[in-house]
Amino acid sequence: MPPWPPADGVVAAARQRRTFAIISHPDAGKTTLTEKLLLYAGAVAEAGAVRAREGRRRVRSDWMALEQERGISISSTVLQLHVGGRVLNLLDTPGHRDFSEDTYRVLAAADAAIMVLDVAKGIEPQTRKLFEVCRARHLPILTFLNKCDRPGRDPLEIVDELEDQLALRATPVTWPVGEPGDLRGLADFRRDCFVRYGRTTRGATVAEEEVLSPTHAAAEEGAEWARAEEAAALFREVGATLDEKSFLAGESSPLFAGAALTNFGVRHLLEAIEELAPAPVPARDADGLERPLEAPFSGFVFKIQANMDPSHRDRVAFVRTCSGHFERGMTLTLARTGRPFSTKYATSLFGSARQTIDEAYPGDIVGLVNATGVRVGDTLFTGPPVQFPPLATLAPELFTVARAADVSRFKQFRRGVSELEEEGVVTVLRDEASGDAEPMLAAVGQMQFEVLSYRLREEYGVEVVLSPAPYTVARRTDRATAEALAAQRSVRVMERRDGLLLALFESPYWLDRLQRDHPEYRLEELVVD
Site for ligand G4P in 154-193 (CB under 6 A): none
Are 90 and 364 a contacting pair, CB within 8 Å? no
Contact between 121 and ligand G4P by CB under 6 A: the answer reads no
The DSSP element (H or E) to which 298 belongs, if any, is strand 298-306
Size, binding site for ligand G4P by CB under 6 A: 21
Site map 251..280 versus ligand G4P, x via CB under 6 A:
--------xxx-------------------
Please provide the DSSP assignment of 118-157 as one string. Answer: ETTTBS-HHHHHHHHHHHHTT--EEEEEE-TTS----HHH
Residue 326 · residue 338 · CB < 8 Å: no
Nearer to ligand G4P, 27 or 406 (CB): 27
The interface region with ligand G4P, picked from 44-52, 81-89, 134-142, 366-374 by CB under 6 A, is 44-52
Cross-strand bridge partners of residue 291: 283
**From residue 312 to residue 351, what is the string marking binding to ligand G4P with x (rule CB under 6 A)?**
----------------------------------------
Is residue 123 within the footprint of ligand G4P (CB under 6 A)? no
Task: Looking at residues 50 to 89 of the shown chain, list those that interact with ligand G4P (rule: CB under 6 A).
Answer: 50-53, 62
Among 26, 48, 282, 373, binds ligand G4P (CB under 6 A): 26
Phi-psi region of 95 (alpha: psi -120 to 50; beta: other; left: phi over 0): alpha
DSSP 97: G
Instruction: Tell me how far apart the alpha carbons of residues 461 and 380 are, in angstroms, rounded to a whole number.
Output: 32
Q: Using DSSP bridges, classify how beta strands 112-118 and 141-146 pair: parallel, antiparallel or unpaired.
A: parallel
Task: State the Cα angle at 370 between 57 and 454, rounded to 5°.
Answer: 30
Stretch that binds ligand G4P, among 47-55, 165-173, 412-420, 507-515 (CB under 6 A): 47-55
User: Of 160, 161, 140, nearest to 243 (Cα)?
Assistant: 140
| Cβ-based nearer residue to ligand G4P, 49 or 289 | 49
Residue 236, φ and ψ in degrees, nearest 5: -65, -40
Q: Which is nearer to ligand G4P, 95 or 296 (CB)?
A: 95
Contact between 28 and ligand G4P per CB under 6 A: yes
Binding mask 130-159 for ligand G4P (x = CB under 6 A): ----------------xx-xx---------
Question: By the 8 A CB rule, do 424 and 102 touch?
Answer: yes
Q: Select from 40, 87, 95, 183 the one that contacts ligand G4P (CB under 6 A).
A: 95
Instruction: Kindly tell me which of 150 and 403 has the beta carbon lying closer to ligand G4P.
Output: 150
CB of 392 to ligand G4P, least distance (A): 22
Instruction: Return d(Cα 251, Cα 233) in angstroms, integer.
Output: 22
Rg from Cα positions in the chain: 24
Per DSSP, the three-state class of 321 is: strand
CA distances from 164 to 7, 103, 366 (A): 46, 25, 39
Tell which one of 19, 32, 305, 333 touches ligand G4P (CB under 6 A): 32
**Binding piece for ligand G4P, criterion CB under 6 A, among 27-35, 73-81, 272-280, 284-292:** 27-35
Which of 26/383 has CB closer to ligand G4P?
26
Q: By the criterion CB under 6 A, which residues form the site for ligand G4P?
A: 24, 26-32, 50-53, 62, 95, 146-147, 149-150, 259-261
